[in-house]
Amino acid sequence: MKKDLGVVSAVFPMPVLMVAAYDKEGKVNVMNAAWGQICDEDKIILFIGEGKRTWLNIKESRAFTVALADRAHTDVADFFGIASGNKMPDKFERTGFHAAKSDKVNAPVIEEFPVVMECELLEFAHTDYIDGIVGRIVNVKAEESVLNDKGKIDPEKTQALIFDTFGAGYYVTGEKVGKAWNAGAGIMKESK
């Protein structure tokens, strides 16, 4: 029997996305954004409130990168979520991480995270209920160590972090339990 829990953010898992952009002086800022999603094959939406340092930087630079946080860098990924770029001007420098300028967009690529999407700003989506940043993914870079033998990103190798909205925990991607567009194929064939 199910028990009523009231209003709970009950989507699990949520990604742990590292969103990076330059400010007007070319300084790197990174934030941890769990509320984001692919919204088309080449588009991503990030639900970041207006006025956040990253929001302001993306407005200025018209570009950003989105990296998948991984197990090896859980502490820094969490720090990027705790610390505000509006209150801590040396936020990125405190981590000792490294950034290289993307060769595709005007945004930093954080070298320590294994998978990064390079994005150009398409629009700010603002309604009474949402604030979102929509970007076009112009390229994805990945460390060879997280690729499978076909050159595709392997979720088990990335050890990508996922956020638990129920208990505020971090988990990692793990065991593959089925193949998409195939696991339910047997039911399609069943007669009624």
pLDDT of residue 10: 85
Condensed to tens digits (0 to 9), the pLDDT of residues 93-127 reads 999 999 999 999 999 999 999 999 999 999 999 89
Closest CA relative to residue 20, chosen from 141, 128, 131, 127: 141
Closest CA relative to residue 72, chosen from 134, 2, 147, 160: 160
Residue 94's SS3 state is: helix
Which residues, in sequence order, are CB contacts of 57 under 8 Å at separation 6+? 21, 22, 23, 29, 64, 85
- Averaged in consecutive runs of 10 residues, what is the pLDDT profile of the chain (192 residues)? 90 93 95 93 94 93 98 97 91 97 98 98 93 96 97 95 92 86 83 60
- Which one is the CATH code of 14-189: 3.30.70.120, 2.30.110.10, 2.40.30.60, 3.30.450.20? 2.30.110.10
Describe the chain by its helix, strand, coil percentages, rounded to 5.
20, 35, 45
pLDDT of residue 11: 86
Task: Please state the domain extents for the chain.
Answer: 14-189
pLDDT of residue 161: 95
Question: Is the CB of residue 63 less than 8 Å from the CB of residue 116?
Answer: no
CA 188 remoteness from chain centre:
34
Residues 46, 48, 52, 55, CA torsion sign: positive
